[in-house]
Structure 1
Amino acid sequence: MNSEITTQISAPLGELTLRLSSTPRGARLARRLTAQQLDAWGHPHDGEASDTAQHVVAELAANAVTHGRVPGRDFELRLVLLPEDVLRIEVSDTRGDRRLRIVTEADAEGGRGLILVTVLSRTWGVAEREVGKTVWAEVSLRSRRRDRAAP
């Protein structure tokens, strides 16, 4: 995990920023809107790239709603389509606490979501903002099967 944003965002090909309620319903909506936006950008809803991005958004949004929630405050979802088929996902909440727990014990009740984010993302990290924090991840939108087949 990177502690700060280390990648420079170069000329995005597309961008979507939304504020959603810090509720389970808002987290579900974040995932559905991600699928819809990726479809509009040419990555079908039932494709591997969309599925991967939806999983990452679901985990980050669930964490924002569960651990980053401040009563009366929304969380923000930002999707940035970058060159070379990379999707940058940013989920911001208003709680400034940057301690993120990655649980590796098999019998733990929770905390495995960030392991999933680590596995599915090229890179991820946490950045401070004026109010709260942003947890971000970059996901390749290229098919893993196609990437493996390339020399």
Structure 2
Amino acid sequence: MKTEMTPATTPTGESGGEFTQRFSATRRGARLARLLAVRQLHDWGVVAVDAVELVVAELVSNAVTHGLVQGRDFELRLALAADHVRVEVSDARGEREPAPNPRPDEHGYGLLLVTALASGWGVCGREVGKTVWATVPR
């Protein structure tokens, strides 16, 4: 199942329930993505901001850590629906798909957290790279 990505909108969400923005694939870019996502969720009046924020933080962190291709950005897309927020993070590294760590130690809890907070999550390929998505109840 391939997801259509839409053109970037303004960070204030004036597109009617959708936010899309590219960020540099750095820790600073991941932090900015999380901060702008939280602002957007507040603007939309989403109650489950903490759950969505944690999912965004994990997926953008994975994009920066495991999906990095030098010189390529990652993209964050939020889509607001009546009962959930869909989070999509796209990076340029299609050959590395995420998988929960069956025996996490001090690292590797991120996708277990996503599994716990989201009603579903998955990966879909794109022309260049992949998109990791999660659906978080509102």
Amino acid corresponding to residue 64 of structure 2 in structure 1 = V
Whole-Å Cα distance in 2 between the matches of residues 99 and 19 of structure 1? Answer: 20
Alignment of 1:1-12 (within 5 A): 4=1
Deviation at 1:82, TM superposition (A): 1.1
Do the aligned residues in 2 keep the contact of 1:5 with 1:125 (CA within 8 Å)? no
Q: Distance in 2 between matches of 1:105 and 1:98?
A: 19
Is 1:131 the equivalent of 2:128? yes
Match of 2:27 in 1: 24
Which of these residues, 78, 87, 90, is aligned with residue 89 of structure 1? 87
CA distance in structure 2 between the aligned counterparts of 1:26 and 1:37, rounded to whole angstroms: 16
Distance across 2 between alignment mates of 1:132 and 1:29? 21
1:57 corresponding residue in structure 2: 56
The secondary structure found in structure 2 opposite 1:103 is coil
Mapped to 2, the partners of 1:99 and 1:89 lie a distance apart of: 16
Give the percent of matched residue pairs that are identical in Structure 1 and Structure 2. 57
Taking the aligned partners of 2:39 and 2:97, their CA distance within structure 1 comes to: 31
Return 5+ residue gaps in structure 1 as ranges: 7-11, 142-151
**What TM-score comes out, normalization by structure 2 length?**
0.85
| 1:109, distance to aligned residue in structure 2 (A) | 4.0
- Secondary structure of 1:40's counterpart equals helix
Structure 2 contact 84–137 (Cα < 8 Å) conserved: yes
Provide, for residues 10-56 of structure 1, a one-character-per-residue CA deviation record: whole Å limited to 9, x for no partner: xx95000000010011111111111100111112xxx5x00100000
Specify the SS of the correspondent of 1:105. coil
Higher-Rg structure is 1
| CA-based RMSD | 1.8
Once the two structures are superposed, what CA deviation does each residue of 1:79-135 show, in whole Å capped at 9, x if it has no partner? 00012x2100000000112432311325x3422210000000000000000000000
1:5 is displaced (CA, Å) by 6.1
How many residue pairs align between the two structures? 127
Where does structure 2 lack aligned partners over 5 or more consecutive residues?
A: 4-14
Q: Which residue of the partner structure matches residue 114 of structure 2?
A: 117
Scaled by the length of structure 1, the TM-score of the pair is: 0.78
Separation (CA, whole Å) in 2 of partners of 1:113 and 1:72: 25
